[in-house]
C-alpha cells in the first residue's frame, strides 16, 4: 500500500470530531473516475455537472486521489459562523440544513469549512451541502454508484471497527482448516 | 438537440478572432463524434495538399456523444490534424476530463486555425476565449503544465491539453497530453509546437442534459456494475501489460527491433512482474468504472523516482523491442516520453532502429556523442542506460537526437542517403507510423489491416490481430476471407473510436463483445442520450462512415494504392525461432489481400471510393471531390 490508511485518517480526523455518519472515501480504492459527482449533481439538479456536486473528487497529484463531502462535524463551524443563522444541524443525524429563506449566499460557511465541502449554487445563490440523499429510499447515490466501493456512509466508530478487522486479517495468516483425513 | 450543443467553436490563432458554427442534426448523425467527427472537421477546414506544418493545417477537436454523462468510458475526445509523420490523416483519441470540460463549456468541437505569433496558452472559459502568454510554462512537463495553469487561473476544474518539451522542440512524434492521457502516435505535439501553442485549457460550468436520463442512468449503472466482473479483470488487475506474456507465447512480441518474436526475458518485463514490484496505484479516466492505468514506480537503481502509467504498447517498445530486461529502464523511458510529451511507442521503435544501426556498424559509438556523453554511447540491444540517454537527446534535439526525433522513416532515408547504407530494411513503420506491439509477419490478417490503415501502423484502428491471435483465422497463411475480416474488424473498432467509448468495455454490455452483443446495447445508449431511433444497422454504419471519411481525406491528400504497404522486414526477413519462424508476408500475398480488402469495402481495384457509395453513406460533398 502506498498510503497507510491509518496515516490518512489521523491527519484528517485531528481537525474533525464527529460521532455522526458521513460519506467517507478510501483513497486506496478511489480511482478518480468522478462518477460520484455525476450522480450527485444529477440527483440534486437534474443535470450532470461537477460544479453542482456536493461530493468532490480531489486529485492532489498523479496518484493521490480521493473524494470529500460534508463531514458532519460536531459543533459545526459552518453553523456557528453563519451570520444569518441560516444553517442548523440536526442533533440526531448531524446533517446541516440550509434555510433558503435566510441564506443569502455570503459564503462565510465555505470559509469556515476545513474540508471544502460546501459550495454556492450560482443560480439560486444558496449554500449546498451533502444531505446523505436523506429523502431517497436508496440512500446516498454516490455510495450506490461508486464502482470501486470506495465510498461509504459510516461513523468513525464503524470505520475503527473495520480498520481493526483489516489490520488483523493482514497481520496474521488464517489458521489452516482441518483437512479431511481421507 | 440532446447530447450535443450543435455548436463548433472556431478560433483563429493569428487574428485571435473566434466564431461559432452551427451544425444540423443530420451532420451529427453521420459523423457522431470522436475520430470520425474530428476527421470530418479536418476535411472541412484544411487547405488540401498543405504541408502538415503549415498554417493551413488546423487542429480539430471533436467531443463524444456520451461525454459528460454517466455512460461508462464515454469521456473521450478525438483530435485530428494532417500528420507530420505520415502526411495523411492524423486522428487520435484521448480519455478523461478535458472532453468533459469541453462538453460542459457547450462545444461539440473546436477548430484552431493558423498559428500563434508567440507562445500561447489558450483558455476556453465557457463561451469566452482568452489568449494568455505561455512563457512561464515553457520547458514544463505535461502534468506540471496543467497544474501550473490551474494554479494561475485559480480553478481546480480547469482541464488542459498540453505539450511538453518534445512538442516545443518539434520532435516529429510529440504528443498532446491531458490528465495523464495522450492523444498520441501521429505527431500532434509537433504541430502544436510549430504553432507555438503550449496548451489549450477549458472550463465548462454548464450541466449536460440528455433525452431520457432515467433510462440512461439505469443502463449506465448496470454496465458500470457489470464492468467490475471477469470480463474486465485483466484490465483492472494487471492492465494492458498482461498481454505481454501472451504475445511472447504466440511468438509475436517484437524483440530487438522486430528481429524476433520471442523474448527470453519476457517474464522480467511482464505485466505480472510490474504488478508485483512496481505498481503504486490504479487510476481511471473520467467516468470510467474499469480503471486500467497501472501507475508504476521505480524504487531502486539509477532511475529511482521515475513513475508513470504503463501500458502494453509502451512497455513492449521500451523493453523487449530494445532487448532491455531491466523493467526499471523501461519505466524510466516511458516516464520521459509521458512527462515531456512524446509517443512512447514511436520513441521505443526509433531507438530500436538506432540500436540495430549500432549493432550493424551503420552508426558508431561516436555518432552518439553529446556534451553529456563526449565519448558517445554503446547503444547495444539491452543497454537500458544508453537508451535513456538517447531518449533525452531526442527530447532535447541534441546530437543524433535531431535525426532520431524524425521517426524511423525520415531517419533511415536521411542516413541511407548520407552513408549509402540500407537501414530502411529495419525501419519498421507503415506509412511512416512506427508499428505497434504485434509483429505482423505471422499475423497475416493484421498485416493487411496495418497496410491498409489510414493512420499507418496502428493497432487501435485495425483490430485484426484479434481474430489472428484467437485462432479464428490461420494467422500463418492467407485465404479469400481476409479482406472481409480485416475490413470488419477495422469498422468494429471505428464504432468505439467514433462514439467514442473505450474498447475495454466491449464485453460488459452483454458478456459478448461481438456486434450482436454490443450494437443493440450501444443503440439503446445512443437513443436515451439523443432521442434518436438508432438500431443495429445504424450503429454498424458509424464505423463504416468513420473509415470512409478518413480514407477520403487521404485520397484527397494524394494517397495511392502503393501507400498501402508493409515494412521491408515483414516482407523479406523471417523470424529464426518461435511459432512464426520462417514466415513473411510476400508482395504477392499482400497484393492479393489488398484486392480482397478493397472489394470488401466496395471500393475500386485501385482502392478508390465510388461516388454512389459516398452518396449512400450521406457524404455527397465528399463524393463530389474524391468519388470515382
Q: Which of B236, B277, B278, B286 to mutate to test the interface with A (most CBs of A within 10 A)?
A: B286
pLDDT at A179: 60
Q: Which of A50, A119, A128, A133 to mutate to test the interface with B (most CBs of B within 10 A)?
A: A50
CA distance B392 to B373: 12
CA distance to partner chain B, nearest, from residue A163 (Å): 20
Torsion of CA B498, B501, B505, B508, to 10 degrees: -90
Q: Which of B229, B233, B283 to mutate to test the interface with A (most CBs of A within 10 A)?
A: B283
Nearest chain A Cα to B294, which residue? A63
Answer yes or no: is pLDDT of A58 > 70. Answer: yes
The topology (CATH level 3) of B7-203 is Aldehyde Ferredoxin Oxidoreductase;  A, domain 1 (3.60.9)
pLDDT tens-digit readout, B50-80: 999 999 999 999 999 999 999 999 999 999 9
Chain A neighbors of B227, CB-CB under 8 A: 147
pLDDT tens-digit readout, A72-111: 999 999 999 999 999 999 999 999 999 999 999 999 999 9
Whether residue B208 and residue A47 make contact (CB cut-off 8 A), yes or no, is yes
CA distances from B502 to A151, B320, B494 (A): 24, 26, 11
Cβ contacts below 8 Å, chain A against chain B, sum to 86
Chain A neighbors of B157, CB-CB under 8 A: 50-51
Whether residue A145 and residue B157 make contact (CB cut-off 8 A), yes or no, is no
Whether residue B224 and residue A147 make contact (CB cut-off 8 A), yes or no, is yes
CATH number of B222-430: 1.10.569.10
pTM, two decimals, is 0.94
CB distance B12 to B111 below 8 Å? no
Locate cell 478518413: which residue?
Answer: B550
B595 backbone dihedrals φ, ψ, rounded to 5°: -60, -45
Q: Is residue A180 part of a domain?
A: no
Chain A neighbors of B69, CB-CB under 8 A: 38, 48
Nearest chain A Cα to B143, which residue? A62
Query: Among 1.20.1640.10, 1.10.599.10, 1.10.3470.10, 3.20.20.140, what is the CATH number of B472-503+519-626?
Result: 1.10.599.10
CA distance to partner chain B, nearest, from residue A176 (Å): 25
Whether residue A47 and residue B209 make contact (CB cut-off 8 A), yes or no, is yes
Total structural domains within chain A: 1
CA distance B296 to B311: 10
- What does pLDDT average to over chain A? 88
Whether residue B291 and residue A50 make contact (CB cut-off 8 A), yes or no, is no
Percent of chain B at pLDDT exceeding 70: 100
Secondary structure (DSSP) of B128-143: EEEEEE-GGGTT--HH
pLDDT at A122: 82
Q: Is residue A46 part of a domain?
A: yes
Q: Is residue A24 part of a domain?
A: yes
Range of weakest confidence among A4-8, A17-21, B488-492? A4-8
Contacts of B420 (CB under 8 A, 6+ apart): none
pLDDT band with cut points at 50, 70 and 90 for residue A11: very low
Is B151 in CB contact (< 8 Å) with chain A? no
Chain B neighbors of A38, CB-CB under 8 A: 69-70, 287
**Predicted interface score ipTM higher than 0.85:** yes
pLDDT band with cut points at 50, 70 and 90 for residue B81: very high
Is A119 in CB contact (< 8 Å) with chain B? no
Burial call B242-268: b when 16+ CB within 10 Å, e when fewer: bbbbbbbebbbbbbbbbbbbbbebbeb
Torsion of CA B469, B606, B50, B138, to 10 degrees: 0
CA distance to partner chain A, nearest, from residue B153 (Å): 16
Give the domain extent around A141. 16-168
CA distance to partner chain A, nearest, from residue B142 (Å): 11
pLDDT at A9: 47
Q: Is residue A9 part of a domain?
A: no
**Shortest CB distance from B208 goes to which of A31, A32, A48?**
A48
Answer yes or no: is pLDDT of B113 > 50. Answer: yes
Chain A neighbors of B207, CB-CB under 8 A: 41, 45-49, 52
pLDDT at B469: 94
Per-residue pLDDT, averaged over B583-603, amounts to 98
Query: Burial of B526 by CB count in 10 Å (0-12 exposed, 13-18 middle, 19+ buried)?
Result: buried
CA nearest to A56, candidates A151, A165, A134, A127:
A151
Per-residue pLDDT, averaged over B328-353, amounts to 98
Q: Could you tell me the three cell numbers for B157?
A: 476544474
Where do the domains of chain B lie?
7-203, 222-430, 472-503+519-626
- Please report, for chain B, how many H helices and E strands are present, in that order: 25, 17
Q: Is residue A74 part of a domain?
A: yes
CA distances from B2 to B6, B24, B33, B386, B528 (A): 9, 12, 14, 54, 9
CB distance B445 to B475 below 8 Å? yes
pLDDT at A174: 66
Is A49 in CB contact (< 8 Å) with chain B? yes
CA distance B91 to B111: 14
CB distance B352 to B257 below 8 Å? yes
CA distance B34 to B93: 7
* 3-class secondary-structure state, position B612: helix
Which CATH number is A58's domain given? 3.30.70.20
Amino acid at each position: 500500500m502506498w498510503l497507510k490508511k491509518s496515516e490518512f485518517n489521523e491527519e484528517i480526523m485531528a481537525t474533525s470530531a464527529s460521532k455522526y455518519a458521513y460519506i467517507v472515501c478510501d483513497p486506496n480504492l478511489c480511482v478518480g473516475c468522478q462518477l460520484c459527482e455525476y450522480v450527485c449533481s444529477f440527483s440534486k439538479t437534474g443535470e450532470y455537472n461537477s460544479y453542482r456536486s456536493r461530493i468532490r473528487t480531489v486529485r492532489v497529484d498523479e496518484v493521490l486521489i480521493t473524494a470529500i463531502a460534508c463531514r458532519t462535524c460536531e459543533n459545526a463551524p459552518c453553523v456557528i459562523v453563519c451570520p444569518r443563522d441560516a444553517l442548523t444541524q440536526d442533533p440526531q443525524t448531524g446533517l446541516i440544513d440550509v434555510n433558503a429563506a435566510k441564506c443569502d449566499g455570503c459564503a462565510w460557511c465555505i470559509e469556515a469549512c476545513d474540508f471544502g465541502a460546501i459550495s454556492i449554487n450560482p443560480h439560486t445563490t444558496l449554500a449546498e451541502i451533502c444531505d446523505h440523499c436523506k429523502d431517497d429510499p436508496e440512500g446516498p447515490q454516490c455510495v450506490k454508484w461508486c464502482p470501486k466501493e470506495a465510498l461509504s456512509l459510516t461513523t468513525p466508530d464503524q470505520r475503527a471497527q473495520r480498520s481493526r478487522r483489516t489490520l488483523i486479517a493482514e497481520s496474521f495468516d488464517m489458521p489452516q482448516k482441518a483437512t479431511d483425513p481421507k | 438537440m440532446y447530447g450535443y450543443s450543435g455548436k463548433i467553436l472556431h478560433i483563429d490563432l493569428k487574428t485571435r478572432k473566434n466564431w461559432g458554427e452551427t451544425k444540423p442534426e443530420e451532420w451529427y448523425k453521420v459523423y457522431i463524434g470522436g475520430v470520425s467527427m474530428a476527421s470530418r472537421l479536418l476535411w472541412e477546414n484544411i487547405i488540401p495538399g498543405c504541408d502538415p506544418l503549415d498554417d493551413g493545417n488546423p487542429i480539430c477537436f471533436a467531443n463524444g456523444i456520451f461525454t459528460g454523462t454517466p455512460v461508462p468510458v464515454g469521456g473521450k475526445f478525438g483530435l485530428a490534424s494532417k500528420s507530420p509523420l505520415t502526411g495523411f490523416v492524423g486522428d487520435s483519441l484521448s480519455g478523461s476530463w478535458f472532453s468533459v470540460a469541453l462538453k460542459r463549456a457547450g462545444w461539440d468541437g473546436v477548430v484552431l486555425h493558423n498559428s500563434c505569433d508567440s507562445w500561447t496558452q489558450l483558455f476556453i472559459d465557457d463561451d469566452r476565449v482568452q489568449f494568455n502568454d505561455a512563457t512561464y510554462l515553457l520547458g514544463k512537463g505535461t502534468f506540471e503544465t496543467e497544474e501550473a495553469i490551474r494554479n494561475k487561473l485559480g480553478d481546480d476544474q480547469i482541464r488542459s491539453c498540453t505539450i511538453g518539451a518534445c512538442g516545443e522542440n518539434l520532435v516529429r512524434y510529440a504528443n498532446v497530453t491531458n490528465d495523464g492521457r495522450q492523444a498520441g502516435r501521429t505527431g500532434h505535439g509537433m504541430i502544436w509546437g510549430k504553432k507555438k501553442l503550449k496548451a489549450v485549457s477549458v472550463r465548462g460550468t454548464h450541466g449536460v442534459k440528455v433525452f431520457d436520463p432515467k433510462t440512461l442512468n439505469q443502463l449506465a449503472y448496470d454496465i458500470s456494475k457489470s464492468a467490475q466482473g471477469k470480463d474486465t479483470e485483466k484490465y483492472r488487475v494487471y492492465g494492458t501489460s498482461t498481454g505481454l506474456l501472451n504475445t511472447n507465447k504466440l511468438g509475436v512480441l517484437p524483440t530487438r527491433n522486430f528481429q524476433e518474436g520471442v523474448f527470453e526475458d519476457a517474464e522480467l518485463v511482464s505485466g505480472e512482474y510490474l504488478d508485483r514490484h512496481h505498481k503504486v496505484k490504479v487510476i481511471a479516466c473520467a467516468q470510467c468504472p474499469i480503471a486500467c492505468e497501472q501507475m508504476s514506480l521505480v524504487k531502486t537503481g539509477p532511475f529511482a523516482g521515475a513513475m508513470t502509467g504503463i501500458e502494453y504498447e509502451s512497455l513492449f517498445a521500451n523493453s523487449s523491442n530494445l532487448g532491455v530486461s531491466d523493467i526499471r529502464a523501461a519505466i524510466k523511458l516511458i516516464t520521459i516520453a509521458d512527462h515531456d510529451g512524446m509517443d512512447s511507442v514511436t520513441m521505443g521503435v526509433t531507438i530500436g532502429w538506432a540500436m540495430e544501426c549500432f549493432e550493424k556498424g551503420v552508426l558508431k559509438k561516436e555518432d552518439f556523442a553529446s556534451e553529456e556523453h563526449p565519448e558517445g554511447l554503446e547503444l547495444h540491444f539491452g543497454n537500458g542506460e544508453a537508451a535513456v540517454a538517447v531518449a533525452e537527446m531526442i527530447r532535447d534535439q541534441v546530437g543524433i537526437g535531431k535525426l532520431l526525433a524524425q521517426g524511423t522513416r525520415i531517419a533511415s532515408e536521411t542516413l541511407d542517403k548520407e552513408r549509402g547504407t540500407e537501414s530502411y530494411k529495419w525501419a519498421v513503420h507503415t506509412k511512416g507510423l512506427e508499428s505497434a506491439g504485434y509483429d505482423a509477419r505471422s499475423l497475416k490478417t493484421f498485416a493487411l489491416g496495418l497496410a491498409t490503415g489510414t493512420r499507418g501502423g496502428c493497432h487501435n484502428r485495425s483490430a485484426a490481430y484479434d481474430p489472428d491471435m484467437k485462432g479464428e483465422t490461420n494467422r500463418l497463411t492467407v485465404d479469400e476471407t481476409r479482406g472481409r475480416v480485416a475490413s470488419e474488424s477495422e469498422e468494429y473498432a471505428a464504432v468505439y473510436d467514433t462514439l467514442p467509448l473505450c474498447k475495454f468495455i466491449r464485453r460488459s454490455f452483454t458478456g459478448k463483445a461481438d456486434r450482436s452483443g454490443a450494437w443493440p446495447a450501444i443503440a439503446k445508449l445512443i437513443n436515451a442520450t439523443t432521442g434518436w431511433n438508432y438500431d443495429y444497422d445504424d450503429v454498424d454504419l458509424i464505423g463504416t462512415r468513420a473509415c470512409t471519411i478518413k480514407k477520403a481525406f487521404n485520397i484527397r491528400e494524394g494517397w495511392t494504392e502503393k501507400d498501402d504497404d508493409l515494412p521491408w522486414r515483414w516482407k523479406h526477413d523471417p523470424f529464426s525461432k518461435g511459432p512464426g519462424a520462417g514466415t513473411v508476408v510476400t508482395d504477392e500475398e499482400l497484393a492479393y489481400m489488398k484486392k480482397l480488402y478493397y472489394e470488401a469495402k466496395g471500393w475500386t481495384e485501385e482502392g478508390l471510393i465510388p461516388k454512389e457509395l459516398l452518396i449512400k453513406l450521406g457524404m455527397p460533398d465528399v463524393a463530389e471531390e474524391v468519388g470515382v
